[in-house]
Amino acid sequence: MEKIPMTRAGYNKLDAELRELKGKERPAIIAAISEAREHGDLSENAEYHSAREKQSFIEGRITELEGVLSRSEVIDPSKLSGGIKFGATVDLLDEDTDEEKTYQIVGEHEASLEKGLLNLRSPLARALIGKEEGDSVDVQTPGGVRSYEILSVRFE
């Protein structure tokens, strides 16, 4: 089975979510289902059906998180160096708009563009892999080709 690269922060976030689901959400939904059952006829009991649907979602998410965490390979970016690879924090200059952006290249389960966490499999990350500070890259995006200059690369 393929290992899933992940930073320590990403691993800890998913692990905390799993503990929350198992420790609080699961017991709460079991109690809600039990209470809804006491209201009688289950075929017309909206509370019961809603609780069962939520239970299904929670159990599915628990299964997904357990699978991801069991296959994860935690990588410490501070021990890396060289060209751009997983874990690198990259400062880019959008050559079309002169806007500077900073991204850290992370695994898909911890990616969040709003937080500057770029999915390793995204077109931009794939274009950056192997490049060095000072290089320029052209990236095919849904909005057309974008050009970026790599201002700096660091491993934190």
- Domain spans of the chain? 4-74, 77-155
Q: What b/e string do you get for 73-103 counting C-beta neighbours within 10 Å, with b at 16 or more?
A: eebebeeeeeebbbbbbbebbeeeeeeebeb
Hey, what CATH class is 4-74 in? mainly alpha
Tens digit of each residue's pLDDT (9 = 90 or more) over 22-68: 999 999 999 988 888 887 666 677 888 888 899 999 999 999 999 99
pLDDT at 55: 95
Contacts of 44 (CB under 8 A, 6+ apart): none
pTM to 2 decimals?
Answer: 0.81
- SS3 for 87? coil
Hey, what CATH topology would domain 77-155 get? Chitinase A; domain 3 (3.10.50)
